[in-house]
Amino acid sequence: MKSVRDINVQGKKVFVRVDYNLPMDEALNITDDNRIRATLDLIEYLITQNARIILASHLGRPDGVKDEKFSLLPAARRLAEILDRKVLFVDDCIGEKVEHQISHLGEGQILMLENLRFHKGEKKNDLVFAKKLADLCDVYVNNAFAVSHRTQASITGITQFVLLAGSGFLLEKEIQSYRDSVEHPKKPLIAVIGGAKVSSKLAALENMLNFVDQLIIGGAMANTFLKAKGIDTQSSMIEADLLETARTIIEKADQKNVELLLPNDLVVADRFDKNAETKTVVVDEIPAGWMGLDIGPETANRYAQAIQKAGTIVWNGPMGVFEMEKFAFGTQVVADAIAGSNAFSVVGGGDTGLAAKMCGVADKVSYISTGGGAFLVMMEGKKLPGVAVLE
């Protein structure tokens, strides 16, 4: 994969696909600008190279229709504030208006295009739309790891029409962190997998059995594994159609000598509510009609002790409903253990990145991925389409 460092961008029009899919409040104020900050090193590099910088991203799901609440103008303004330099903005991403702006773009100047998904061609990977994007630039750079598992016009289609294409610094960091944690880890390698559904992480779980020394399961997905072992999980969330699959994963782990850790106690509640009545019970003593919403303290401490022995840790998914204070303890204990470990630790994006932030460990782990979905695809052992087209 060619890096942007390997391409002469001096004075060139460089189209950079970024991921500025930022959280905003009802007043359209950006509530977290980490995805902008993750791209600053590349932007500053391109400025020093006197490139003419064209930034493109999506925001939300406008379904191919222009909608002001999904405009990237707030992102352009925030980037200008952070860089303390002018960031131009154009209210479309293709067409004469955009071409005119780019033709007048000076060396080292930045232009942000409007939301790519205001055009249906973006998500459909329409090649006519992709060519119009390609015609705007001399060089294409993919710096949007979080959407590189998608086959879309600005990720894969555009590469068919540009002469020069390469990876940005953030994409390179993401790929390298995965290789360091899974393909070339310091042993033992421990995967901590949580979240709500086995189905969303099934392929990743099966693939990780080929790499890991220990697999720690938490979150609601642990309920499905417990049920598969014959434990009455009462009203806990399970995926009944995956019980046999869970049994197979348990068997494969045993065959491959991978230690599979499941909860032995749970924090249970009489309903899914932040004000619910709760109690801690061993896994086979859940009261009738109650549900497991967090791993119990004994399980949390057992997991923490296991984590301390790791050489490398991959964490994807919280241990419980961490957004509710009553069910955040398990995630907090595990997060603190990962942060306090001497291991190289990689945190999957999405909910896990948010959990790391809420637990106060975001700056204490080795690397937090910017993309949950893309991270999972790599954990499944698959190539990301947005990376494959650059190879």
Q: Do 193 and 161 belong together in one domain?
A: no
Tokens of 332: 């907090």
Among residues 259, 153, 170, which one has the least CA distance to residue 212? 259
Pairing label, strands 278-282, 291-295: unpaired
Q: Could you report the per-residue pLDDT of 188-206, keeping only the tens digit for each? A: 999 999 998 888 899 999 9
Q: Could you report the per-residue pLDDT of 345-390, keeping only the tens digit for each? A: 999 877 898 899 999 999 999 999 988 889 889 989 899 999 999 9
Among residues 76, 69, 70, which one has the least CA distance to residue 117? 70
Q: Do 154 and 188 belong together in one domain?
A: no
Q: Do 40 and 81 belong together in one domain?
A: yes
Q: What's the total number of domains in the chain? A: 2
pLDDT at 319 over 80: yes
Beta strands in the chain (DSSP E): 13-17, 52-56, 87-90, 110-113, 139-142, 164-167, 189-193, 214-217, 259-261, 265-269, 278-282, 291-295, 312-316, 344-347, 367-368
Q: Do 101 and 13 belong together in one domain?
A: yes
Residue 385 lies in a domain: no
Q: Do 56 and 159 belong together in one domain?
A: yes
Residue 391 lies in a domain: no
Q: Do 13 and 153 belong together in one domain?
A: yes
Q: Which domain holds residue 88?
A: 4-167
Q: What is the pLDDT confidence band of residue 221, given thresholds at 50, 70 and 90? A: very high
Among residues 297, 286, 326, 295, which one has the least CA distance to residue 219? 295
Query: End-to-end CA distance of the chain, in Å?
Result: 4
Q: Do 77 and 43 belong together in one domain?
A: yes
Q: Do 156 and 223 belong together in one domain?
A: no
Contacts 24+ apart (CB under 8 A), 76-80: 76/112, 78/30, 78/33, 78/36, 79/36, 79/43, 79/55, 79/110, 79/112
Instruction: Please enumerate in sequence order all residues whose Cβ is within 8 A of that of 81, keeping only pairs 6 or more positions apart, or say none.
Output: none
Q: What is the pLDDT of residue 274?
A: 95
151 CB-contact burial (10 Å; exposed 0-12 / middle 13-18 / buried 19+): middle
Residue 390 lies in a domain: no
pLDDT at 299 over 80: yes
pLDDT at 273 over 80: yes
Q: What is the pLDDT of residue 196?
A: 87
pLDDT at 51 over 90: yes
Residue 148 lies in a domain: yes
pLDDT at 276 over 90: yes
Specify whether the backbone of 289 is left (phi greater than 0), alpha (psi in -120 to 50) or beta: left
**DSSP category for residue 324:** S
Least confident of 157-161, 281-285, 286-290, 368-372: 368-372
pLDDT at 293 over 90: yes
Q: Do 154 and 243 belong together in one domain?
A: no
Q: Could you report the per-residue pLDDT of 110-135, keeping only the tens digit for each? A: 999 999 999 999 999 999 999 999 99
Give buried/exposed letters for 28-39 (b at 16+ CB in 10 A, else e). Answer: eebeebebbebb
Q: Could you report the per-residue pLDDT of 20-37, keeping only the tens digit for each? A: 999 899 888 999 898 999
Residue where a domain stops, chosen among 152, 167, 182: 167
- The model's pTM: 0.89
Write out the catalytic residue numbers: 35, 197, 350, 373
Average pLDDT value over all residues in the chain = 95
Q: What is the pLDDT confidence band of residue 89, given thresholds at 50, 70 and 90? A: very high
Dist CA 192 CA 254 (whole Å): 17
Residue where a domain stops, chosen among 136, 167, 198: 167
Q: Could you report the per-residue pLDDT of 62-74, keeping only the tens digit for each? A: 999 999 999 999 9
Mean pLDDT of 200-223: 94
Q: Do 375 and 241 belong together in one domain?
A: yes
Dist CA 359 CA 339 (whole Å): 10
Helix 221-228 / helix 243-255 crossing angle, nearest 10 deg: 80
Mean pLDDT of 144-148: 96
Least confident of 46-60, 74-88, 263-277, 373-387: 373-387
CB–CB of 389/159 below 8 Å?
Answer: yes
Longest dimension (CA), the chain: 70
Q: Do 158 and 189 belong together in one domain?
A: no
Residue where a domain stops, chosen among 132, 167, 202: 167
CATH code (residue 143): 3.40.50.1260
Q: What is the pLDDT confidence band of residue 94, given thresholds at 50, 70 and 90? A: very high
Residue 216 parent element (H or E): strand 214-217
